[in-house]
Structure 1
Amino acid sequence: MNYIIGLIKDRNLIFQLAKNDFKVKYLGSYLGMFWAFVNPVILILTYWFVFQIGFRLTPVENVPFVLWLVAGIIPWFFITESITNGTNSIIDYSYLVKKIVFKVSLLPFIKILSTLFIHIIFLIAVIVLFLIYGYGINIYYIQIFYFLVASVILVFGISLITSSLAVFSRDVGQIVGVILQFGFWLTPIFWSFSIVPENIQFWLKLNPVYYIVEGYRNTLIFQKWFWEYPMLSIYYWLVTVFILIIGIIMFKRLKPHFSDVL
């Protein structure tokens, strides 16, 4: 609890450092922030071309495939980027770790907040795309903030674990990348959950990212509230809080050894 209170107290510092991290990431390139969108946009266009133009897939649940795809893949981009950046946060800012006055515990959250800036811009672009297709803004859009908060807490807990381990072994970053690759194909991002046999659906729902992806689709497309799935919501928060607690404990115990290793 003290850890969370500390983040709230240092919110101004966190925001300034996240903004600086965002700027530095694209400093020196002529196109600047544009590069943050290149890979995700190319990936979306590739999937859209292959599955809708090439395989001529019909709309999913009467929804144009491109809308159904972006509604699920946008939160995935944020989650994977946040975990990847959060995992390397201590290593990237090793010069700050050696300064006793600096709160090292802020670093994973700074990386996540920096990634959130891009996600919000992407989210606005997706909403515009939905408007072009005739989907008007409605009251369900309010719960986007709920799923944003849910996503941030989940990736923060994971990043605390991975970032503290990555200091002692650089292989952790590679392992995280492999796990995320598996996670992409096990999450209903470009395939419909309805095609999965019922006896397997339960196991796939154990993936907490499923809750976020389906939450975005329920918000943008199907107009359903998260409390319409009470058991799934309870499960998600139990898992997320558990991961966060484990992350905080692990980070606090390993933090005193960071400067020795770096």
Structure 2
Amino acid sequence: MSLIKELYRNKGLILNLAKNDFKTKYAGSYLGVFWAFVQPVITVLIYWFVFQVGFKSAPIDDFPFVLWLVTGIVPWFFFSDAILNATNSLIEYSYLVKKVVFKISILPIVKIISALFVHVFFIGFTIFLYCLYGEIPTIHIIQVIYYSFCAFFLSLGMSYATASIIPFFKDFGQIINIFLQIGMWMTPIMWSYNMISPKYQWILKLNPMYYIAEGYRDTLINHIWFWERYNQTMYFWTISILIFGVGIFLFKKLKPHFSDVL
């Protein structure tokens, strides 16, 4: 609770730092922040070409494959971008970590909010794509706020843990990269979980990102409210709060030593 209060008291500073982080990431390039939006769109087009044109993937549940794909990949792009950037936040802002008066607990959330700017654009791009295909979103579209918050909270909890470890173990960043590569294929983003036997599907559902990816599809495709999946919702929040608690514990435990190793 003390951390949450600290983040709330510094919300203005967090937002300003997030905006500045987003801008400086592409400073010096001719197109600037435009690149932040181009990259995920190009990535989606590549996956669409490989799976639908190359492998000739059939519609999933009679739904256009490209729409089904982009709906699942939207939250994953945000999650992976947030984790990668927030993990290195203490190293990148080491000059602030060494300042006694600076609240370094805000650095991971700064990186996640910076990633959130692209996520909001990508949601708009997805809705635009749906409209082009004649699939007008229903009232369930408001759920995208809830599932975005789920991804935000999960990313924040994990990033407090990963950001705490990496100053002491620099190779941890490479482990995170491998973890995200495996996680992308273990999460049913580019393939339907119905492709495997029902008796093994519960293994996939242990992954909290399964809940979020399928939640976006429930919002835009299946038109199911999140409370209708109450078992998965309870499981997701139990795991996410546990991860958040562990992340905060590690951060507070290791915080006094950050300035010594950076």
Q: TM-score, normalised by structure 2?
A: 0.98
Q: How does 1:13-162 map to 2 (within 5 A)?
A: 13-162=13-162
- One-letter code of the match for 2:184? F
The residue correspondences of 1:184-223 to structure 2 (distance < 5 A) are 184-223=184-223
1:188 partner SS: coil
Q: In the aligned structure 1, how far is the partner of 2:85 from the partner of 2:130?
A: 29
What runs of 5+ residues in structure 1 fail to find an aligned partner?
A: none
- Deviating more after overlay: 12-21 vs 37-46: 37-46
**Per-residue deviation, 1:43:** 2.2
Letter of the 2:94 counterpart: S
Kindly provide the amino acid, as one letter, of the partner of residue 239 in structure 2: V
Residue 32 of structure 1 aligns to a residue whose secondary structure is coil
Distance 2:88 2:185 in 1: 24
Work out the CA distance in 2 between the residues paired with 1:39 and 1:28.
17
Q: Take 1:41 and 1:23, find their aligned partners in 2: how far apart are those partners? A: 19
Q: Deviations over 1:87-120 (max 9, x none)?
A: 0000000000001111000000000000000110
Contact 2:37–2:121 (Cα < 8 Å) also in 1: no
3-state SS of paired residue (1:58): coil
Alignment-derived partner of residue 7 in structure 1:
7
Which string of whole-angstrom CA distances, capped at 9 and with x for unpartnered residues, describes residues 121-158 of structure 1?
11111111111111223210111110111111100000
Task: Return the alpha-carbon distance in structure 2 between the equivalents of residues 28 and 34 of structure 1.
Answer: 12
- SS of aligned partner of 2:33: helix
Q: Residue 41 of structure 1: CA displacement?
A: 2.4
1:238-259 deviation per Cα after TM superposition (whole angstroms, max 9, x unaligned): 0000000111111011011000
What is the distance in 1 between the residues matched to 2:84 and 2:154?
13
Secondary structure (helix, strand or coil) at the match of 1:216 reads helix
- Distance in 1 of aligned mates of 2:260 and 2:118: 34
What displacement does 1:38 show? 3.6
Taking the aligned partners of 1:216 and 1:23, their CA distance within structure 2 comes to 28
Q: Determine the C-alpha separation between the residues in 2 that align with 1:139 and 1:168.
A: 47
Paired with 1:55 and 1:256, the residues of 2 have a C-alpha distance of 53
Deviation of residue 42 (structure 1)? Answer: 2.6
- Residue 248 of structure 1: aligned partner: 248
Query: Which runs of 5 or more residues in structure 2 are unaligned?
Result: none
**Aligned amino acid, residue 188 of structure 1:** P
Cα-to-partner distance string for 1:157-191 (whole Å, 9 max, x where unaligned): 00000001001111111000001111011010010
Opposite residue 4 of structure 2, the aligned amino acid is I
TM-score by length of 1: 0.98
Aligned residue-pair number: 262
Q: How big is the alpha-carbon RMSD for the aligned residues of Structure 1 and Structure 2?
A: 0.9
Q: Distance in 2 between matches of 1:204 and 1:47?
A: 22
CA drift at 1:34: 2.2
